[in-house]
Chains A and B, each alone.
Chain A
Amino acid sequence: MENKVEAKDYQIADTNQKIIARNLVKDYELKERHGIFRPKTKKIIHAVKGVSLEIPRGKIIGLLGINGAGKTTTIRMLSSVIEPTSGTLEMDGIDAVKEHRRVKEQINVISGGERNLYWRLTAAENLEYFGSLYGISGDALKERMKKLLKTVDLEDAADTPVERYSKGMKQRLQIARGLINDPSYIFLDEPTLGLDIVIAKEIRDLIRHLAVKEKKGVLLTTHYISEAEELCDYIYIIDHGKIIARGTKEELQALFVYHEKKIDEDFSKPGREMESSSEADTKNCQPEMSSYTGKNKTKEQEIPLEDIIMYLVNEAKEEQK
């Protein structure tokens, strides 16, 4: 695919220029009601159970999984909106848990949907407000706003209240808002949710541009597998709060082929129990980016990523049983 970066580009010049998450855990306390006069009971929800991942600058990292897998909670931890119950998080060598206010200058979040904006304000006014919160003012802010409105093609609608925007326009404004502080790392939580194919394509092109040309580290969650296939340099698959597989698209395909072969072999040996794939998965879930070189390309026929994810999720379910 055109956006694929050659293997040599995977080498990160400065090893500190990335976000490194190790064993992130997030537990929530949920209070359950049992009627007005009966006391509430507390329940601990393990939303994320030891996620480790890396986001180098200039790369698009995919975080894929089904609904409720823990994608959004992971993004909210990585973006320092919430703190992990345990685990470590570093951004460019800085402890992002302890110094969360400091790292906020270098990150931003772009969510899919129509929230996170002031609808009665115009696009320019929204950008002016959020820019001011990052300490940008005067000509610098005006120039940044002008550039971003041009980038997301909202120049002509800059002075129109957001409530009059279409869904696609709101999403483009979300992107402009997310770039107002010129972040080094961007977290995109389903940025093309519910958009038509033309707008979605434009946004994908923009995401690619941000990573490849502007060298920003991008973490992308999406339900559109084709989007992940097209954009992501590296993919983590999350299920029930755990990373169940990771690798480039080719590596995931190789993993899939390996598992398929193994299943075939197991079935061809009557009476033999199917081996657990946890060993292979554990190897793949190490946080180091040693396999992040794109070397392990399979020569097998290309398998849709969607099938791989479904297979891995189902396998994880089987293991849990």
Chain B
Amino acid sequence: MREILLVIYAEIRKQKRHNYHSYFVYFSLLIWPVLGFLEVYYTYKPFELASGIAGIGNAQTLLAFLATGYMAYNCFWSMVQNAWSMSYDERTGGTLEMAFLTPANRLALNYGKALGALIQEAWMFCCFCIFILFYTRSLSWSNWYLLPVIFLLLVISSTVWGGMLNAIFLFSRDASIVMDLFDTPMVLFSGTRIPLTAFPLWARLISLLFPLTYCLNLIRLTLHIQIQPHPTNILPDLLKLLLCLLTMITLTHHLLTKAEQNNRRTGELLFY
């Protein structure tokens, strides 16, 4: 266990030192998601919200809905980006093969890479979203204790998701198609910007494929962000998320074993 924690910690420190070395990097990680958030907010705003468009009844709910949606999406999306850059930069730089030359636990390496990127990429925007949640009174002094719960939920879900993507990208540097497969469908169908209740049945079925869907449902339920029809029971989504996470962990373990076998056969962890 000590070795596993050591590897995860080393990955987090390395990522911070290597990829997030200046204030400009953090600034860019804040400004782009904020612009995206504002774009969607001001797209919705001209419409009459009192009529309850897609279940959202007022401007405050809309802000809170989008803040939670963008916060969670940003965490999940940073995992896709990280997996892509890991597969290309570390592969061509030879450091990926150097890491696989060590006896380090592969799952720890994988999740360490994901967690390192998550912490660095998402914290500034998360702070912004938390400010919005306080502003809209979804969070207040009476329920601030929910913050660690939300934080834990986001960190665990995103890291497990990121670990799976990292494992997929180990198979090939050309796995960037995964980015296309996951980005637009994830942002569209998971309820990031559009409530799931506004979707037809086929779209809701697709939304079941993304852990982000359950994660967002849970966060919004916890914070009582009222979208009609408003479910009250947290348990179904929690169980679905747990099932999703367990499936992803099992799949990651399997993919890592296969990826290492494949790379030992083909030598593709390294490209000059």
Contacts and interface: CB of A to CB of B under 8 A. Distances in A.
Given A82-B264, A83-B265, A105 B13 contact: no
A121 B14 contact: yes
A105 B14 contact: no
B149 interface: no
Contacts of A102: 103
Interface residues of A, number: 36
A129 B272 CA distance: 23
A115 B17 contact: no
B104 A134 contact: yes
B3 A116 contact: no
A270 B44 CA distance: 98
Given A116-B95, A134-B103, A135-B3, A81 B18 contact: no
Interface stretch (B4-12, B26-34, B182-190): B4-12
Q: Which of A80, A105, A119, A133 has the most CB of B within 10 A?
A: A133
B265 A79 contact: no
Interface string A230-262: 000000000000000000000000000000000
Interface string B84-98: 000000000111011
B135 interface: no
Contacts of B99: 133
A117 interface: yes
Interface in B1-59: 2-3, 6-7, 9-10, 13-14, 17-19, 21
Given A81-B97, A116-B95, A137-B6, A100 B264 contact: yes
Nearest to A104: B103
A108 B102 CA distance: 8
A51 interface: no
Given A121-B14, A130-B98, A133-B7, A115 B93 contact: yes
A73 B264 CA distance: 12
B14 A118 contact: yes
Contacts of A116: 93-95, 97-98
A128 interface: yes
B267 A121 contact: no
Contacts of A132: 6-7, 9-10
B266 interface: yes
B100 interface: yes
B48 to A, nearest CB: 51
A118 B104 contact: no
**DSSP majority for the A interface?**
mixed
Contacts of A137: 2, 6
B101 interface: yes
A219 B264 CA distance: 20
B102 A133 contact: yes
A115 B97 CA distance: 11
A76 interface: yes
B13 A129 contact: yes
Interface in A91-126: 100-102, 104-105, 107-109, 111, 115-121, 125
Interface in B219-272: 263-267, 269-270, 272
Nearest to B98: A116
A224 interface: no
Contacts of B93: 115-116, 118-119
Interface of B: 2-3, 6-7, 9-10, 13-14, 17-19, 21, 93-95, 97-104, 109, 263-267, 269-270, 272
The 7 nearest A-B residue pairs measured at CB: A132-B10, A115-B94, A133-B102, A116-B94, A133-B104, A104-B103, A83-B264
Given A116-B93, A116-B94, A135-B6, 8 more contacts: A81-B269, A82-B264, A100-B264, A115-B272, A116-B98, A132-B7, A133-B10, A181-B102
